[in-house]
Amino acid sequence: MVAVARCLSQRIRLGTLHVPTTNRTLRTTSSQLRRVASATLPHPFHGVQAFSVSPVPSPAADKPLPQPPSPHQLSLNPGDRGPRVIRPTPPPSPSSRKDRIREARPFSDFLTDTFDRQHDYLRISVTERCNLRCLYCMPEEGVPLSPQRELLTTPEIVLLSSVFVSQGVTKIRLTGGEPTVRRDIVPLMQQIGALRAHGLRELCLTTNGLSLHRKLDAMVEAGLTGVNLSLDTLDQWQYQLMTRRAGFSAVQKTIDRIFELNRVGAGIKFKINCVVMRGVNDREILPFVEMTREKDVEVRFIEYMPFDGNKWSKGKMFSYQEMLDLIRSRYPDLQREAGHKNDTSKTFQVPGFVGKLGFVTSMTHNFCGTCNRLRITSDGNLKVCLFGNAEVSVRDILRKVNGGEPIDEEAFELLRQTAVDSMKRPSSPAHPPPLLAPNSEELLNVIGMAVKRKKEKHAGLGELEHMKNRPMILIDPPATFQRHRSRWHHHIGFVPSSSLVNKVPAPLSGFLVPGSDSISARQQLRLFTSTSRQLRQGGKDNSVKGPKLTHVTSSGAAHMVSISDKTPTKRVATAKCTVYFSDPAVLKLITENQMKKGDVLGVARIAGIMAAKRTPDLIPLCHPIALTHAEVELAPVEANFKDGTNGKNKGGAIEIAATVSCDGKTGVEMEALTAASAAALTVYDMCKAVDKAMVIEGLRVVLKDGGKSGRWEMP
């Protein structure tokens, strides 16, 4: 351990990092460090610059103290609490031009790739958790969480931030998951915000806004300079359908509070990120544009991008050019704005509007040539490209100074004290740099090699959808999610029928159900089969050749048939039905989303997916089964008197197809049938006020695959 401490002292500078203390038990390696803290140590290593990460500058550090807030920094908090002062941590006073020239240095070679791109923007995922369950991102039950020791601790996040800032990073963005669910998010931001005295210019947050309004004031005081809020709809009911949470009002509180703080001088750069998906929320584009008429916000429309699990396809992507054409149809004088060379979005503005519009065109017009971003995942991996699957662990290198154990608050305090003691030696410099960075030399070498391997650009449009990458839910999920990925399936979008490819798009959402080990073998069984028949006549068991009913006992009573001796296989079933309208106006109202009850296709889709989950509650002999996938497609069909329906399609129709799958011992035909019928009944319910002559017909299974009988399709 003496060697460990000596190695540590060679790479750690004296610092004043404040970390909240806890009563947690110190790990074995930390106890060993305590025993060697007073050992004879060599002079600290002079080859690597390190940091002081103190929320409040020390008067002895020759740095100007923050000035009292000016009147424009006064704000009114929600309610009747009265005025309060917002004190964002100010950067140090600008030095003279002569001093700046003397202290100037070239940008770090560690963060410069072989194409001369300088990476001064770092994104850090601080959690894998989220308080929403968006249909296209997370299952209702959540995701498997990784062990806490695999995730970066608060001291580790701050130490990594300090290393990157020492090399020229000027912007740090905290992401997740949802970063505001992290308990110590505000203290963490205070510590990272203190790096503004050492070159950090921007500290930003990407959030869903659900709980931000409760922490926003404290974050501004900690140095928050920018907020990117993820919001895909401005309709509270659509929001609840898409997120499975009734939180739209809370998000609105966050938006209102940001505008309030900016009116009194907080200076928060506010952006709203909207991922546009064809048939899901493309109708929201124009309402978002209208929002910028009087609001100082940049709404950024993002092309739907492929990640593991979201079943991306070109048909689901609403392209940049399509968005632009749609907006110009309403606002023909839309103008392009000049931007910074490293901007990820193309900026536009409608003349006379306060806010702006942005388009993130990763799929159709990549911006790889000016990319300046690096990412650190929540489990401590460095990711040099959003679409790349190459990662390197900086967590493991950082933890070498603590014997491979996570650096918690107590362990960090021992590491800091070791450096403090070494600075008391006579050979120490009179004015040591008040900075801190453990294991910096090795860490920077690994970072530099990863950056140098960064490609000139990511794969093309036709290749990205087939590449392995982290799931969209958290671009920085833990390793546990990767290990469980084979048991999770996630889908959103639609594949229109061949007859409707160039007509009205039929959106298709997916449902994600875990098949985790926590589900017992009994729950995995679906004690249902339709491949045999048993008959009883006259009190006797009359065996007959051919199919038999296995759900009937010898006494004629219904029962469940055990299939425990069957081999689990992948099972898939598709069921279809059709809703015919008597009036063509109904279909037009549906496709234009003008029904008084709301989005008919969207609500029916969700109803079908939910019904598939609840099939065992509706059908007596169906046992619970762990579904791996459920999707419902609703395709509008124009009126046609010559389509073989004997005039039933005189007012148009909605064709419904439900597909359900599982990895189990029995089929999922009943789940598919239940999903299709529930979707059809929902269409009927939402349209009956304008068409009481609707007809629902043709409910049938058209595809069954898996099991002993193999594949079957309706002729």
In three-state form (DSSP H/G/I as H, E/B as E, the rest C), the secondary structure along 221-289 is HHCCCEEEEECCCCCHHHHHHHHCCCCHHHHHHHHHHHHHHHHCCCCCEEEEEEEEECCCCHHHHHHHH
Amino acid of residue 287: P
Report d(CA 39, CA 61) in Å as an integer.
Answer: 28
**DSSP character string of 147-196:** PGGGSPPHHHHHHHHHHHHHTT--EEEEESS-GGGSTTHHHHHHHHHGGG
Report d(CA 210, CA 193) in Å as an integer.
Answer: 23
Q: Measure Cα distances from 701 to 46, 393, 569, 649 in Å.
A: 73, 49, 19, 21
Report d(CA 388, CA 468) in Å as an integer.
Answer: 8
Q: β-pairing, 381-383 with 391-393?
A: antiparallel
Which residues, listed in sequence order, are joined to residue 537 by a DSSP beta bridge? 540
Long-range contacts of residues 554-561, Cβ cutoff 8 Å, at least 24 apart? 558/620, 558/621, 560/527, 560/528, 560/621, 560/623, 561/527, 561/528, 561/529
184 is catalytic: no
Which residues, listed in sequence order, are joined to residue 83 by a DSSP beta bridge? 76
Report d(CA 543, CA 535) in Å as an integer.
Answer: 7
Amino acid of residue 258: I
Report d(CA 670, CA 658) in Å as an integer.
Answer: 11
**DSSP character string of 84-149:** EE--PPPPPPP--HHHHHHH--PPPSTTB-TT--B--EEEEE--S--S---TTT--TT--PPPPGG
Amino acid of residue 311: K
| DSSP classification of residue 67 | P
Report d(CA 250, CA 240) in Å as an integer.
Answer: 12
For the record, the structure tokens of 417 come out as: 């004290």
Question: Quick one: CA dihedral 703, 709, 710, 715, positive or negative?
Answer: negative
| DSSP classification of residue 465 | T
Report d(CA 582, CA 585) in Å as an integer.
Answer: 9
Query: In sequence order, which residues have a C-beta less than 8 Å from that of residue 239 and are 6 or more positions away?
Result: 233, 247, 248, 251
Of the candidates 617, 685, 691, 705, the residue annotated as catalytic is 685
Amino acid of residue 3: A
Residue numbers annotated as active site = 685
